[in-house]
Structure 1
Amino acid sequence: MPSISRSPVLFRLVLLLALVVLGAASLNYGALQLDHTAWLTPDSDQGRVLYQLRLPRLLLTLFAGALLAATGAAAQSLFRNPLADPSLIGVSAGAALAVVTLMVFAGGWLVQHRFAEFAMPLTAFMGGLASTWLVMRLSRSLAGVSVTTLLLTGMAINAIAMAGIGALKYLSDELTLRQASFWLMGNFSVQGWMPVIVLTCVAFPVLLLLAREGRELNLLLLGVSQAQLLGVDVAKLQRRLVVLCALGVGSVVAFGGLISFVGLIVPHLVRLLSGPDNRHLLPHSALLGAFFLSLADLLSRMLASPAELPIGILTALVGGPFFLFVLLYRMRRGGGYA
């Protein structure tokens, strides 16, 4: 493990190999056992299961996990706070509120129109961006964004958004209520490729743009004043990363529902394994996040087979105790970035 931690290339190769093994297991596991001919016969029953259900679902979880983990790593470095997961600063709740509003008031339109898949991520992006902007504005002090009040403000915005979601669910009809409740718990059951295409079009530019910010995020860890002296425009950096985080997380929320703690757990694990350098932390977090969420999706299908556990329940069961561990660890050390 020490040799892997010192070699970013080797670390990435190990993660890629793990993704290949996990992907093969995810494609093969299910109520219907597939044989090798399924790849060559897409029009057969097994071929349709493979190409229309399992493969799109696998790709969706890979891209979603990469986005959640990479945006989590970026948020932690941007705010110099290891607890600044996007779901804790209002992005996920704002995106969820926007999507549930769309489901309640435009549910019929979503069913009837072919390209309604684009409306979901766009609405989620706008909701996540609005809630994140509000959190940053409310937590801003004369010296910039105050990390002391950031999480408290995020918790307040999350509470308001969840109250709004509860009110919308109360006003909705029975069918919409079931759909919204199931979606909010996190699920990647898809049929067809349109959600995968949309999320792919979001994931590649967001992940590439985040990776380019590694050097400036490293300088920002020295402190706002020091980063400005070294040529970093902190205000522009904050705006760029907030937009990227809102776009990435909002798109995941649109297709997978509320999936918490991935952006909190994975960056911490990557720091332990390969160090805090953001030039490596961001791509490594994306790879490990893809592995983590795909593994959680596989377990959600295995643990309650032939039914499925909502994937958000599994990530919360792991992430909740981990969040408390990090919080207590920082309190014992007297705060600081870990």
Structure 2
Amino acid sequence: MSDTTARVLQLLGLLQGRAMWTGPELAERLGVTTRSVRRDVERLRQLGYPVRASTGVGGGYQLGAGGKLPPLLLDPDEAVAVTVSLRLAAGGSVSGVEESALRALAKLDQVLPAALRGEVEAISHAVVAVEGGGVPVDARLLSAVARACRDEVLLDFSYRARDGSPSSRRVEPYRVVAMGRRWYLLAFDTDRADWRSFRLDRVEVGSVHATTFRFPARTTPDPVQYVRDSVIRSPYRYVARLRLHADVDEIATRVPQNAGLLTDLGDGTCELETGAETLDYLAIETLWLGVPFEVLDPPELRETVRGLSRRLAAAADAGVSPGEPP
């Protein structure tokens, strides 16, 4: 590749990475004169890239939207992120884009450098997405955890519990689950001799260390089911069970998998197990369901629901004149 071609590609990468560059800024980054920058910009235009130029205060060069999508230049981290996202989308984690994701993935896989394939395979194998997971998580953390899952090696990290107390953990990592608005690691905690789910946003990024010690295979729980049960129960002060007078398939469209556990009772009703920090919030959740229900547990939730009913009735009747229909 000639120096000029390499420089033009570098210029394209800079323009794709930021909204606006001045001529002197680009010249400094590329190690050339502003005149050379103008020539390289013209070469990009001849290749079909709509590079806009503006003068005055705040002016500079900007890559505009064209009639067709030009090739993108991705750095290694971006290539890994795009490829993993496409694989998740192609697997149905984003509805309606499966076929398009597969076509885009096929094109990207053809040109993905071999050095990055291990990174992509590790993260893709280790991540299970349920209903739009993907809360921002440090890429270094996700990569380190995913590789440990793939390589089946012990993982050390510092963890902050719900109450803020710190602890050091050594685990046998199994899967990463993106559920709701959080990322979780399902792992076997060697000190506690039991399975645990860890929120990745509570893991100290700099503390993550994948050892060289491999661990033997275990009988593992279903990662999605385990994390879902943990999310429903462990983080909350109150856990409620409701009998809903509606078909389970109807309710499933209204209750995200990370918000509750549904059980078909076989008689046109279903049971919902869900959790919250307060009884008031649990009572409000029942209104979102929009179907008749019974409170099975806890008993104190029944009185909270009654109190909510009285408050709603009073609010509906407030300001209604005598004889006026409510």
What TM-score do you get using the length of structure 1 for normalisation?
Answer: 0.22
Q: With a CA cutoff of 8 Å and minimum separation of 6, indicate the structure with the bigger relative contact order.
A: 1
Select the structure of larger CA radius of gyration. 2
Which structure: greater helix fraction? 1
TM-score, with structure 2 as normaliser: 0.23
Q: Return the structure number with greater strand share.
A: 2
